[in-house]
């Protein structure tokens, strides 16, 4: 068996998330089907750096693949892509040491969320359109409360009794780009729906319907309020998975230009 590191992108609109499921179409499921056709074997192991929810996109998801093959990495990339639907694309395949693990070796993950301040026809799969006026300064001020090691038990659909809900977040970055508000959240790891609930809470602060102090209460004790404010998956992208030595992104840029309705490449 050889081990390979895969870097891939996908539009999550048509998929029930990354992880393979019975009776549902998933990114991992389509990848495995393409790989079985190529390698003509079911002796394949594919592990992602983490799950993405139904409808969530990825710019640079990372996975590792174990398979017995003599094919070179670039040939593997091209041949698997030939079998994949257009909304999944493998960007790079590299040989990896047997000890490399896509999830366990990751030191941080970066998510990007796009909020649109206007209705968009061609970009609707990649943004959350909010009709109400948003106070970006208030959102930025509230975002500071999430930095550091915090207990996000009120910001997840996971059962706090079954797994740790303590996560370390770097300071949240926010920026405006035309009609878009961009939010970057970088953390050691993430729990189910955590990013979307953080964004939903920040949007409610921006609307003026939630005071900054409410976030402090959500972080101090259990609350079901963030769940009710969960942002839709359409605007969320897994932006990067970081491993030891990887350089961090230094610019916060939009993935769609609402003036031209063109996706940035």
With H, G, I as helix, E, B as strand and everything else as coil, classify residue 53.
coil
Q: Please say whether the beta carbons of 251 and 173 come within 8 A.
A: no
Contact at 8 Å (CB) between 193 and 75? no
Integer Cα distance of 188 and 190 in angstroms: 7
Helix or strand or coil: residue 106? coil
Strand, coil or helix: 56: coil
| Residue carrying structure tokens 């996706």 | 263
Contact predicate 157/193, CB 8 Å? yes
Q: Which of 37, 53, 105, 246 is catalytic?
A: 53
Question: Beta strand pairing status for 2-10 and 173-177?
Answer: unpaired
- 7 has which bridge partners? 62, 92
Rg of the chain on CA atoms, in Å: 19
- Report the C-alpha gap between 139 and 174 in whole angstroms: 9
Query: Are 145 and 219 spatial neighbours (Cβ–Cβ below 8 Å)?
Result: yes
- Give CA 189 to chain center in angstroms: 11
DSSP state letters, 237-249: EEEEEE-TTPPPP
Q: Indicate if 87 belongs to the active site.
A: no
What's CA 217's distance to the chain center, in Å?
26
Active centre residues (catalytic): 53
């Amino acid at each position: 068996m050889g081990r390979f590191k895969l870097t891939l992108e996908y539009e999550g609109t048509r998929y029930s998330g990354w992880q393979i499921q019975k009776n549902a179409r998933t990114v991992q499921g389509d990848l495995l089907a393409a790989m079985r056709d190529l390698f003509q074997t079911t002796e394949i192991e594919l592990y992602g750096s983490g799950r993405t929810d139904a409808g969530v996109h990825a710019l640079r998801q990372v996975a590792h693949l174990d398979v017995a093959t003599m094919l070179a990495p670039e040939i593997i990339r091209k041949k698997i892509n030939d079998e994949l639907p257009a909304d999944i694309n493998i960007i790079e395949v590299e040989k990896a040491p047997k000890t490399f693990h896509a999830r366990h070796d990751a030191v941080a993950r970066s998510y990007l969320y796009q909020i649109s301040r206007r209705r968009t026809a061609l970009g609707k799969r990649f943004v959350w359109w909010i009709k109400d006026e948003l106070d970006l300064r208030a959102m930025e001020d509230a975002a500071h409360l999430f930095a550091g090691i915090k207990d996000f038990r009120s910001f997840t659909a996971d059962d706090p009794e079954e797994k740790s809900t303590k996560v370390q977040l770097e300071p949240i970055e926010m920026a405006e780009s035309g009609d878009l508000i961009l939010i970057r959240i970088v953390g050691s790891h993430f729990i189910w729906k955590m990013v979307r609930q953080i964004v939903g809470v920040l949007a409610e602060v921006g609307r003026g319907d939630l005071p900054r102090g409410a976030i402090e209460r959500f972080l101090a004790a259990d609350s079901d309020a963030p769940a009710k404010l969960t942002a839709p998956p359409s605007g969320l992208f897994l932006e990067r998975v970081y491993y030891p030595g990887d350089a961090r992104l230094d610019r916060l840029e939009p993935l769609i230009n609402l003036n031209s309705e063109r996706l940035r490449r």
